[in-house]
Amino acid sequence: MSTLTVAAIQYDISWRDKSANFSTLEHMISAVFNEHQHIDLLLLPETFSTGFCTTDPAVSVTDDGGEDLFWLKQMASQYGCVVAGSVFVRQADKKANRFYWVWPDGAVEYYDKRHLFRLGNEGDYVVQGNDRKVFDIKGIRIFPQVCYDLRFPVWQRNQQDYELLVNVANWPAARRHVWDTLLKARAMENQAFVIGVNRVGADGLGVAHSGGTVVLDYVGEPVATAVDDKAGVVVAELDFSELERYKESFPAYLDADDFVLN
């Protein structure tokens, strides 16, 4: 099994200001590629272009991803890697919190957030996704999740169909302990690498975010970690042959319970 080089960007998302966020990200991405010649997967936080402004009618959404998807395609083409992150996309009379997965050739896949944040009334404005997706890079199977999904282990249970779980988020500082703990739990229980990508700074509603962007191995140990409360990029090369050997030596997955997802 091959290796995968991943980069995860942690930054302070400008509230409802797509131009400012695109500009910030372009500078950060350029700096990453000046230092690293090759990256396979570049990850951005949840709602990276606007912040988590579910109720705000001033936030423009389109049926086809609009300028957000156009920008993602530009970045993927320019840097020759998959670029992924979530944005709001119109869906009937609501919108979807859509995790776009964009290839350098312009091909697009996506996952719509399954679990909607009840405390923030996300379900009043956002439609629930129902399709479990797994993407593939170089034979490495990657399971995309968005923020609140992290709390629901049944939905994330590894059915031996992925080696890497990715969660992109706007996870508040007040519940940072939960973020750190559940990311480790998901890695250990699923015997998979896990990447959590979070933002920093206060959003337009005054909600503080401390970061916690991290790459974990399959036993929950950190491979690379961002500095708290500071914008930055985490880069890691993951060797999936190590995961394969670990699962051969400790095949706990063979004793997992059968279940059916609705």
- State yes or no: pLDDT of 110 exceeds 90: yes
| Average pLDDT estimate for 16-34 | 97
- State yes or no: pLDDT of 102 exceeds 70: yes
**Would residue 81 show up in a list of annotated catalytic residues for this protein?**
no
pLDDT at 141: 98
- State yes or no: pLDDT of 1 exceeds 70: no
Between 262 and 86, the higher pLDDT residue: 86
For residue 113, give the nearest of 158, 54, 55 by alpha carbon: 54
How far apart are the C-alpha atoms of 255 and 203, rounded to whole Å?
43
pLDDT at 151: 98
**Would residue 138 show up in a list of annotated catalytic residues for this protein?**
no
Among 18, 53, 95, 147, the one annotated catalytic:
147
Of all residues in the chain, the percent with pLDDT exceeding 90 is 90
Helix (H, G, I), strand (E, B) or coil at 137: strand
Question: C-alpha angle 240/200/77, rounded to 5°?
Answer: 55
CATH number of 3-252: 3.60.110.10
Among 18, 95, 113, 184, the one annotated catalytic:
113
At 120-158, the pLDDT tens digits run: 889 999 999 999 999 999 999 999 999 999 999 999 999
| Average pLDDT estimate for 98-102 | 98
Among 18, 46, 53, 122, the one annotated catalytic:
46
For residue 10, give the nearest of 216, 222, 237, 209 by alpha carbon: 209
| Pairing of β 41-43 and β 3-10 | parallel
Going by C-beta distance under 8 Å and a sequence separation of 6 or more, which residues neighbour residue 203?
Answer: 13, 15, 51, 52, 53, 170, 209
pTM comes to 0.97
At 29-61, the pLDDT tens digits run: 999 999 998 999 999 999 999 999 998 776 767
**Would residue 46 show up in a list of annotated catalytic residues for this protein?**
yes
Residue 118's region, left for phi above 0, alpha for psi from -120 to 50, else beta, is alpha
Domain ranges of the chain: 3-252
Band of pLDDT at residue 4, cut at 50, 70 and 90: very high
Residue 73's region, left for phi above 0, alpha for psi from -120 to 50, else beta, is alpha
